Amino acid sequence: MLVATSRIIELRIAQKHKSGRDGDVQREPLYPFMVAQHTLIFFAIIFEVYLLERTFSISQAVFSVALLLFASLGRWWVIRTLKENWNVQIVQPRTIVTTGPYQYIRHPNYTIVIIEIIGLTLFHSAWFSCVIFTISNAIILTIRIRSEEKLLLATENYRAHFLKLKRFIPGVI
């Protein structure tokens, strides 16, 4: 419930940041699928837990809560760092931000989404949901990052700072 509430708050922030910038928003055919994925995951987890009678593991739940707390802190670090540049859609940034988590990786928000999917699904042992949503997220992110980086790589400041950084995990991938 807290993750869903946080997502709604994030959407409101994004809408505020996007206001008056419609010409800067990149056309993104997969955006509706991403929104659907981020909504359906909550229902899929519930259905899987009840239909397949998943057992609750306290140690797994504690691990999941730790992942979700880490992801939440990371998300708010990203939002705070990007300020008016933060959005859920691909929007031409007003400035290229190279501070905060952007000192270490190109796409910290996507790393956070990956962590959230794992944390959400495994809280109640929704293993099928974990696999399905991890794979669908990987497909969406692969296409989305290509579009986003095509836009961003046109900016000299972005190329100068980010081409030397990994996309998701510092020094790894």
26 domain-assigned: no
HSE of 121 in the Cβ direction (CA atoms, 13 Å)?
Answer: 22
C-beta separation of 121 from 127 below 8 A: yes
130 domain-assigned: yes
Tell me how far the alpha carbon of residue 35 is from its chain's centroid. Answer: 11
19 domain-assigned: no
**The domain spanning residue 145 has which CATH number?**
1.20.120.1630
* Mean pLDDT of the 2-26 span: 83
pTM, entire model: 0.92
For residue 23, is pLDDT > 70?
no
38 domain-assigned: no
Per-residue pLDDT tens over the stretch 70-87: 999 999 999 999 999 999
Q: Provide the pLDDT for residue 40.
A: 97
169 domain-assigned: yes
73 domain-assigned: yes
End-to-end alpha-carbon separation of the chain, Å? 31
d(CA 32, CA 163): 29
Q: Which residues form the domain of 172?
A: 58-83+95-173
* Mean pLDDT of the 43-58 span: 96
Residue 46 parent element (H or E): helix 31-51
2 domain-assigned: no
> Which residues, at least 6 apart from 38, have a Cβ–Cβ distance to it below 8 Å?
7
24 domain-assigned: no
Instruction: Tokens for 27, please give them.
Output: 């056309």
* Mean pLDDT of the 145-169 span: 94
Residues above pLDDT 90, as percent of the chain: 80
Q: Provide the pLDDT for residue 90.
A: 92
Q: Provide the pLDDT for residue 22.
A: 66
Least confident of 5-19, 68-82, 96-110, 137-151: 5-19
Domain count, the chain: 1
